[in-house]
Amino acid sequence: MTQATLADAPATNTPTSVPKIGFVSLGCPKALTDSELILTQLRAEGYETSKTFAGADLVIVNTCGFIDDAVRESLDTIGEALAENGKVIVTGCLGAKGGKDTGEGGGNLVRQMHPSVLAVTGPHATQEVMDAVHLHSPKPHDPFVDLVPAQGVKLTPRHYAYLKISEGCNHRCSFCIIPSMRGDLVSRPIGDVLGEAQRLFESGVKELLVISQDTSAYGVDVKYRTGFWDGRPVKTHMTDLCEKLSDIAALHGAWVRLHYVYPYPHVDHVLPLMASGGVLPYLDVPFQHSHPDVLKRMKRPASGEKNLERLQRWREACPEIVIRSTFIAGFPGETEAEFEHLLSFIREAEIDRAGCFAYSAVSGATANDLPGMLPIAVREERRARFMEVAEAVSSAKLARRVGATMQVLIDSAPALGRKGGVGR
């Protein structure tokens, strides 16, 4: 869970002052890009921003509704904004939880917990949010369009940015409720995606992080139709997208990094691009588990039986590739033997960076109805065992790089690097 807020400016209370909007962004990078779109529109229309609730004319809270902790944080933040300001617009995944906003509360969780909020929308709802802002804090008469940079308003540091290529997901994993909040897959036109990428690179971005719910599925919903970029036809497909992003990045000495990549066969075609330096040799692949029976209960799109072979093939094509993944320990019905299978997979697959969640029942997820729900203590114990193995594997792989010289993008370097630094 991440949170981003905007800087403050002196508050005024005169009727002729420019309206100031407080903004809190919670959740994943995909939610962050939604926040950036809203903030860009606010800036384009001349609104100012405030980092304090009390100094704002109203507050927008972009929420997360995936796991229980995220729901609690979102509801608490809404409550704080109401207490300090009183005028709050809610958007994001939590806004979609429990049904559409009827204005009367109905089945909407946010309305039930905080009935005094001004409006509630779901995710990627820039226009609906702006309509609510216009209603409750009318926009200035003279928009300051020149204050908006070409790349839009960003909440990330200047040297990197997220590029969202699609919304929603066609999978129906039993532990996940994202499709019920963000809908089915909707791929952005490839010309729009490449245009945004070019503007970001031109603004000084040195690393572009490609994100979606399923990056590998880009274009499936439009049957990989042909779009246009720079006057030339380009297929709406992951591999074609990566090739063009690589070309644009090379002109600016920048990097492209892929996130949320499912291990589909066509991902193999991106590996030569990684080996040649066109795309960073890095894949964020959400395996979730290794045992075929657990994956079937999870309703994952890949069985897992060929993942070791696929990883071996990727490393043969690109020896420098780094694999990051996330897993769930203690999924309903998981036996000790199935968990040991997962630990063996981590060792044999040599996952460079692995994270693990103890299974948490998400309201509305079909996995909650599966038999064999494990005690919380067992789930947490397995998560701890998993991380012990994963950290040992990661340390061993990092040790192989000792003495190597490589290019690093610096995130921070206090005292001009005299006190060390953090890079990627």
User: How many domains, in total, are found in the chain?
Assistant: 3
> Using one digit for the tens of pLDDT, what is the confidence trace for 354-408?
999 999 988 888 999 999 999 999 999 999 999 999 999 999 999 998 998 888 8
Q: What is the dihedral of CA 272, 324, 152, 58, to 10 degrees?
A: 160
Q: Which amino acid, residue 239? A: T
pLDDT for 117: 92
Q: Which amino acid, residue 247? A: D
Q: Look at residue 238 and give its three-state secondary structure.
A: helix
* Cβ atoms 80, 53 nearer than 8 A: yes
Q: Look at residue 176 and give its three-state secondary structure.
A: coil
Q: What DSSP string describes 304-341? A: STTHHHHHHHHHHH-TT-EEEEEEEES-TT--HHHHHH
> What gap in Å lies between CA 252 and CA 232, rounded to an integer?
21
Judge whether 45 lies within some domain: yes
Judge whether 227 lies within some domain: yes
Chunked mean pLDDT (size 10), the chain, 424 residues? 44 57 88 87 86 90 85 91 92 74 55 90 85 82 50 67 89 87 88 90 91 92 88 90 95 93 90 92 94 93 78 93 96 97 96 94 89 96 97 94 85 74 76
What Rg, from alpha-carbon coordinates, does the chain have? 23
Q: Are residues 237 and 301 in the same domain?
A: no
Residue range(s) defining the domain that contains residue 233: 156-255
Q: How far is CA 399 from CA 137, 347, 355, 418, 421, in A?
A: 56, 16, 19, 24, 19
> What gap in Å lies between CA 253 and CA 195, rounded to an integer?
17
Closest CA to 165 of 118, 230, 227: 227
* Cβ atoms 382, 339 nearer than 8 A: yes
Q: What is the pTM of this model?
A: 0.70
Q: Are residues 168 and 299 in the same domain?
A: no
pLDDT for 302: 66
Q: Are residues 117 and 93 in the same domain?
A: yes
The domain boundary residue, chosen from 96, 124, 147? 147
The domain boundary residue, chosen from 147, 165, 182? 147
CATH number at residue 142: 3.40.50.12160
Could you tell me where the DSSP H helices lie in 229-291? Answer: 238-251, 271-275
Q: Are residues 8 and 140 in the same domain?
A: yes
* Cβ atoms 236, 220 nearer than 8 A: no
**Share of the chain residues as helix, strand and coil, in percent rounded to the nearest 5:** 40, 20, 40
pLDDT for 143: 45
Judge whether 266 lies within some domain: no
Closest CA to 198 of 157, 250, 146: 250
